[in-house]
Amino acid sequence: MGRDVEQGAFSREDRVRYRQKVRRSLDVFALMLDDFGFDADRPMTGLEIELNLMDPAGEPAMRNEEILAAIADPLFQTELGQFNLELNAAPRLIEGSGFAEYEADLRSSLTRADERAAKSDARIVLVGILPTLTERHLVVDNLSTNERYRVLNDQIVGARGEDIELDIRGVERLQTHTDSIAPEAACTSLQFHLQVAPDSFADYWNASQAIAGVQVAIGANSPFLYGRQLWAETRIALFEQATDTRPDELKAQGVRPRVWFGERWITSIFDLFEENVRYFPPLLPICEDEDPVEVLHAGGVPKLSELRLHNGTVYRWNRPVYDIMDGRPHLRVENRVLPAGPTVVDMLANAAFYFGLARGLAESDRPIWSQLTFSSAEENFHAAARRGMDAVLHWPRLGDVPVAKLVLDTLLPTAATGLDRFGVDPAERDRLLGVIEQRCRTGRNGAVWQTEAVWAAERHRGMNREAALHHMARRYAELQRSNEPVHTWPVD
């Protein structure tokens, strides 16, 4: 939900009008899917990376407004917490040397931004959850100053009507309460965008859902929160709980959560937008002046602003996106399951694996979603978030299989085929998928490195947990700048 919001209080009339506009937009969207020309000739990709700001002591640096002004680059935006930024890479094709171009641009942008941040006594860290965050950091006063975050906080907390409970049981347990959505700011993600044609959207979304657990297991990078070791990818549980608008009674009634894996395979992108409208009351009932019916009848491209805003307040792990670029509408799958980091090359390896595997499965003769139950895909997702590289996932014809074996024996060849169909340079394909291969062979991703580094600091250096986390965070930030993949990082 990236739009600026100035309105803080909404009337009953606002909500009624907004609901009517959303439904009108949904009807127009259905008509467009039937006979409108969507841009899908040469599918573009995109990347969004959420960033952390850390001071020299390893503490979160609450200085994003100051640092953003110093960076002065429209590709960088605010995020929820004052210790967060977001970097939006310029969209591009991945054929040929597209990944190498992504890497060069990202490294250049991050280096320049880090230089500006250093003048404010901070550095940029790519990690799923900054390991030194504590409850005193994640409070409403540390939300970014952009009013949209305050409004969103008020609407979510108001809808729930009581404090938000966090209860995450992993290697250790975290049980606490919060009176705001500020803990969500700890969740810094890596998001992939893949432009697809309307008639193939369902195949790509279903494929993305099927592989979400695999992605999380091999890309996990968020093992610590509030000083406790929890899940390999704690970000999943934290995001699901920190934005939950449902009190216990609504949970018991089966009301859907706004952070949602979903509940079924789909046959059209319309299924997802229709579910959003049917199941979720509006959080931000802000209406535009556009009449989408009039625009469509006049031969224009409707913005469908209300439908898009509503879609942005339903936090699917694979989100459908309707957008307009250069006057032409297009559709995207927004893959949101992965954490940021550890390095640019690690993130691009994750990107190559996702884009290739999604295409390989979406275009297969026998769809994976015809063989895997949706409930199994969801169970895989949460098992992967809990156990990371140690996860055992269910896969058709293989049964329960360790994730590393599944990737090495079955999924990497499919990802390579998908990248070939995109026209990716073979050397780039092999370089990036090679990072995934070595991660699986060594059993080492970002979460494994973080936990081993903390254990080493506690056992070999005699540090307590707090000191070990700060030591690890500073070491992580140093190694990150090498751009060597995390499976090669030394622990001590």
Distance set, CA 258 to CA 4, 146, 379 (Å):
20, 22, 18
Each residue's pLDDT tens digit, 272-299: 999 999 999 988 899 999 999 999 999 9
User: Looking at residue 12, what is its pLDDT?
Assistant: 85
Q: Where are the beta strands (DSSP E) in 185-339?
A: 189-196, 224-225, 228-229, 259-260, 315-316, 318-325, 328-339
- pLDDT of 157 reads 87
Could you report the per-residue pLDDT of 239-250, keeping only the tens digit for each? Answer: 999 988 898 899
The answer to whether residue 284 sits within a structural domain is no
Q: Where are the beta strands (DSSP E) in 173-317?
A: 173-178, 189-196, 224-225, 228-229, 259-260, 315-316
Q: Is the pLDDT of residue 6 over 80?
A: no
Whether residue 85 has pLDDT greater than 50 = yes
pLDDT single digits (tens) 382-435 = 999 999 999 999 999 999 999 999 999 999 999 999 999 999 999 999 999 999
Residue predicted with more confidence, 6 or 174: 174
Would 465 be classed as within a structural domain?
A: no
Q: What percentage of residues in the chain have a pLDDT greater than 90?
A: 87
Beta-ladder partners of 400: 394
- The mean predicted confidence, pLDDT, of the chain is 95
d(CA 231, CA 447): 9
pLDDT value of position 1 = 41
Comparing 492 with 352, the larger pLDDT belongs to: 352
Based on the structure, what is the number of domains in the chain?
1
Q: Which positions ≥6 away from 72 have C-beta within 8 Å? A: none
pLDDT at res. 332? 96
* Domain residue limits at 353: 36-261+317-439
The pLDDT tens digits for 433-447 are 999 999 999 999 999
Average pLDDT of the residues in 449-461:
97
pLDDT higher at 152 or 57? 57
Cα(88)–Cα(110) distance, rounded to whole angstroms?
Answer: 11
Type of residue numbered 336: R
Residue 12 counted as domain residue: no
What digits encode the pLDDT tens for the residues 148-168? 888 888 888 888 888 999 999
Say whether pLDDT at 184 is over 60.
Answer: yes
Percent of the chain with pLDDT strictly greater than 70? 98
Task: Please check whether residue 190 lies inside any domain of the structure.
Answer: yes
197-211, 247-261, 432-446: which has the minimum mean pLDDT? 247-261
Mean pLDDT of 2-28: 80
Q: With 70 as the cut, is the pLDDT of residue 132 above it?
A: yes
Q: Could you tell me if residue 350 is inside a domain?
A: yes
Q: Is residue 448 part of a domain?
A: no
CB 339 within 8 A of CB 325: no
Read off the pLDDT of each residue in 335-363 and give the average, rounded to a whole number. 98
pLDDT at site 4: 47
Q: Any idea which of 103-117, 242-256, 329-343, 444-458 has the lowest mean pLDDT?
A: 242-256
pLDDT-derived band at 349 (thresholds 50, 70, 90) equals very high
Q: Is residue 411 part of a domain?
A: yes
pLDDT band at 2 (very low <50, low <70, confident <90, very high): very low
Q: Is the Cα dihedral 378, 383, 388, 389 positive or negative?
A: negative
Q: Does the residue 20 lie in any domain?
A: no
CATH of the domain at 146: 3.30.590.20
Per-residue pLDDT, 340 = 98
Q: What pLDDT score was predicted for residue 8?
A: 55
Query: What pLDDT does 3 receive?
Result: 46
Residue 401, Cβ neighbours under 10 Å: how many? 17
